[in-house]
């Protein structure tokens, strides 16, 4: 179902306000042309709740012959309500992001995600949703304090935090046990029932691209990437996926995470690939003329995964071609970090494949974001938009119910099809894109679109 096909919020007044811990500020005027909220697919039949609840304070009430003692009623601490929302039945949504992190890139990302959430609130046209932004800073103490503050304010749900370690710290606060968390972490290890991950995990990207390459005849795989915790994590996921699918994991090569020119490692890696694939395509002389040999039939159909991005990929990618890896015969693979027009201009990467969200939706979101804020969205802005829109849709009746979160038909957002699993992880459907020299296509084309829906479970 295309984005924006359905909305339960169209008839509500656009009276939204963003709240901070110390001040209340009004929203700016509504931007034009909403991208549209998440579609929640098939409506689920709601359970019938018996009417006429029993009064637990009735002294004559008996159960199994025993009189039930009236409960001790402890006055609850009143939840925070903004003055302009007094008297309304509102949803209080905490937002945890590291706005004051020591790294400028993290601060910028946090601001971009908040801006995307603002757009989601504008699109919802709902006046009963209070956003409570909190700064997680850079340490455990700040996260603990933010969690306590949200518990005191009566938060009904939490968007964030960004880092997996912060998710674990937040869950240690027993006062937040029943509060659903929509975290932006992509670390499956911190997921749990009630703590849902909304980011795209690299393991899922690996699964998508390896499965597609295998379906296209590539049965042997190799890894060339940075020696970092993320690089090792991606390589482990690649090994696990090739083993699961019955493919061959030929080799893995790592280089210093801080280098932009790993020549020695690239040369050793390329030599092995050339030998295994039979890629000696040197020149031959005939009648005194030097002519290129025709492309050989490779001994193995090899695909190489390079999980880099940005300038570093543009520097590292050509090294393999320089040392003899013919990328017309060896398929280059990437992850969603390759979804970058600057990368698509690199000749050595033409014909490469990588997974990514639906490019048309992301492009529409980017255009609207730039019109509103005068700059491009941060990398996780679309993730934040989807998470906020989902929270708005599922909490419309006053609470974010777990059975709605686990709808097996899933949800359809800017980043494509996704659904949550009982353990808190997320399953996504991604498109597969190919880098192309055809500039009329903008340097990339979709070779496998996002599926229209999830296959029936057990099929």
Are the C-beta atoms of 193 and 205 separated by less than 8 Å?
no
User: What fold is seen in the domain 17-41+80-199+360-428?
Assistant: Rossmann fold (3.40.50)
pLDDT tens for each residue of 435-450: 998 766 778 999 999 9
DSSP string, 390-439: HHHHHTTTSS--HHHHT-TT-EEETTEEEEE-TTS-EEE--EEEEE-S-G
The CA radius of gyration of the chain, in Å to the nearest whole number, is: 26
Residue 148 predicted with pLDDT over 90: yes
Lowest mean pLDDT among 10-24, 51-65, 200-214, 294-308: 10-24
The Cβ-side half-sphere exposure at 35, using a 13 Å CA radius, reads 29
Q: Whole-angstrom Cα distance, residue 435 to residue 342? A: 11
Higher pLDDT pick, 38 / 280: 280
Q: 67 vs 70, 194, 272, CA distance in Å?
A: 9, 35, 80
pLDDT tens for each residue of 290-349: 455 555 566 679 999 999 998 889 988 899 999 999 888 899 999 999 998 888 989 999
Taking the whole predicted model, whether its pTM rises above 0.75 is answered as yes
Residue 55 pLDDT: 39
- Report, as an integer, the average pLDDT of 263-272: 94
- Report, as an integer, the average pLDDT of 356-377: 94
pLDDT tens for each residue of 204-240: 999 999 999 999 999 999 999 999 999 999 999 999 9
∠ at Cα 267 (264, 268), nearest 5°?
90
Q: 129 vs 16, 76, 91, 112, 183, CA distance in Å?
A: 8, 21, 5, 20, 19
The candidate with the shortest Cα–Cα distance to 253, out of 235, 279, 277, 230, is 235
DSSP letter (8 states) at residue 8? S
Which class does domain 202-356+433-448 fall in? alpha beta
- Report, as an integer, the average pLDDT of 361-375: 95
**What length is written for the chain?**
459
- Report, as an integer, the average pLDDT of 18-33: 33
Residue-range domain boundaries for the chain: 17-41+80-199+360-428, 202-356+433-448
Mean pLDDT score across all residues of the chain: 79
* Same fold? 17-41+80-199+360-428, 202-356+433-448: yes
Q: 376 vs 123, 139, 367, 383, 401, CA distance in Å?
A: 19, 28, 8, 14, 34
The proportion of the chain whose per-residue pLDDT surpasses 90, expressed as a percent, equals 54
Residue 295 pLDDT: 58
- Report, as an integer, the average pLDDT of 143-168: 92
Residue 34 predicted with pLDDT over 50: no
pLDDT tens for each residue of 93-117: 999 999 999 999 999 999 999 999 9
Residue 218 pLDDT: 96
Residue 25 pLDDT: 29
Are the C-beta atoms of 356 and 430 separated by less than 8 Å?
yes
Q: How many CB atoms lie within 10 A of CB 229?
A: 9
Residue 43 predicted with pLDDT over 80: no
Are the C-beta atoms of 189 and 167 separated by less than 8 Å?
no
Query: In which band, very low, low, confident or very high, does the pLDDT at 271 lie, cut at 50, 70 and 90?
Result: very high
**In 136-237, beta strands by DSSP E:** 157-159, 181-183, 195-197, 220-227
Residue 241 predicted with pLDDT over 90: yes
Residue 59 pLDDT: 36
Torsion of CA 312, 318, 324, 329, to 10 degrees: 100
Query: In which band, very low, low, confident or very high, does the pLDDT at 40 lie, cut at 50, 70 and 90?
Result: very low
């Amino acid at each position: 179902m295309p984005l924006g096909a359905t909305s339960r919020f169209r008839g509500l007044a656009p009276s939204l306000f963003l709240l901070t811990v110390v001040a209340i500020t009004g929203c700016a005027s509504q931007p034009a042309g909403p991208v549209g909220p998440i579609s929640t697919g098939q409506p689920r039949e709601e359970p019938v709740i018996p009417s006429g609840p029993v009064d637990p304070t009735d002294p004559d009430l008996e159960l199994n012959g025993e009189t039930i003692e009236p409960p001790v009623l402890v006055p609850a601490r009143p939840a925070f309500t903004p003055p302009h929302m007094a008297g309304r039945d509102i949803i209080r949504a905490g937002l945890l992001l590291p706005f004051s992190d020591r790294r400028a890139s993290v601060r910028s990302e946090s601001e971009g995600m908040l801006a995307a959430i603002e757009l989601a609130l504008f699109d919802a046209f709902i006046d009963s949703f209070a956003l409570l932004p909190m700064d997680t800073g850079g340490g455990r103490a700040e996260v603990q304090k933010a969690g306590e503050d949200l518990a005191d304010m009566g938060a009904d749900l939490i968007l964030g935090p960004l880092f997996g370690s912060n998710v674990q710290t937040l869950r240690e606060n027993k006062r937040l046990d029943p509060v659903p968390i929509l975290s932006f972490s992509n670390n499956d290890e911190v997921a749990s029932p009630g703590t849902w991950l909304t980011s795209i995990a690299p393991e899922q990207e690996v699964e998508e691209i390896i499965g597609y390459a295998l379906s296209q005849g590539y049965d042997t795989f190799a890894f060339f990437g940075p020696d970092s915790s993320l690089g090792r994590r991606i390589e482990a996921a690649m090994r696990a996926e090739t083993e699961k699918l019955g493919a061959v994991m030929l080799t893995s090569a790592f280089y210093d995470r801080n280098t932009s020119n790993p020549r020695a490692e690239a040369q050793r890696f390329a030599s092995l690939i050339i030998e295994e694939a039979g890629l000696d395509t040197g020149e031959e002389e005939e009648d005194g003329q030097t002519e290129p040999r025709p492309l050989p039939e490779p001994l193995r159909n090899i695909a190489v995964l390079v999980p880099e991005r940005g300038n570093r990929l543009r520097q590292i990618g050509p090294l393999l071609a320089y040392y003899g890896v013919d990328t017309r015969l060896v398929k280059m693979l990437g992850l969603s970090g390759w979804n970058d027009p600057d990368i698509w201009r690199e000749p050595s990467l033409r014909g490469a494949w990588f997974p990514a969200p639906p490019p048309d939706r992301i492009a529409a979101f980017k255009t609207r974001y730039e019109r509103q804020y005068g700059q491009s969205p941060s990398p996780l802005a679309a993730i934040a938009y989807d998470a906020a829109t989902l929270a708005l849709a599922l909490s419309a009746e006053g609470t974010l119910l777990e059975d709605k979160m686990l709808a097996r038909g899933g949800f359809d957002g800017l980043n494509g099809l996704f659904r949550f699993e009982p353990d808190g992880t997320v399953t996504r459907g991604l498109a597969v894109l190919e880098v192309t020299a055809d500039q009329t296509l903008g340097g990339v084309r979709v070779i496998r679109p996002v599926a229209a829906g999830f296959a029936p479970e057990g099929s």
